[in-house]
Structure 1
């Protein structure tokens, strides 16, 4: 995280940050995890429709059995604890949800990196009706 904020002490505690976007690459497929501190929510945005999920959302007590969004969440919450962020407990309790998007596909596995860039452009947060066509 320190590298991501260019070692800027003002940014390292995430005090003025509303959303953290984490592009993910898993099994040659890109998708996006958005950790929202303002609305204390965690969103997974993937170009594949919910009917054809490539990104799994299974939690498990054993860290090594968790799916990647849950691993990212756990590490992020540990960072929030480290910097003593006021939203640590709320982020720890937040449920991970997959966002429905207007441009979801059932078969396009080639353009997923481009979709991630589009997701980052359009996503306005879980507190708003954020992703539209």
Structure 2
């Protein structure tokens, strides 16, 4: 189990990397790691799942994915972000958030902020040691 939560994302996707750069500005202690460089088995998940969605692994080892991962990230941050995280986890909003997340994830290569290959060099990924 990790000492602090881990946010796992697709480090080869420019849109995903730019989104994570926004997430690291939140007031939350976490480790941020591209799935391509993570020990996924030790974190309790798989490459298949990591390719499909952003993942949040909490300190108890529980893995959340997609919109639920984002809600957990927000809940772990300092005020006022937890309120938004709890709202995103509410039953009706959770369904809408999950559908919105899935549409964005399925179309990320078409969204602004991507590169033609939906890829950034490893040294430009957030969480990568410099």
Give the shorter-chain TM-score range.
under 0.3
Q: Could you say which structure has the larger radius of gyration?
A: 1
Q: How does the TM-score come out when normalised to structure 1? A: 0.28
The higher relative CO (CA closer than 8 Å, separation ≥ 6) is in: 2
Q: How does the TM-score come out when normalised to structure 2? A: 0.28
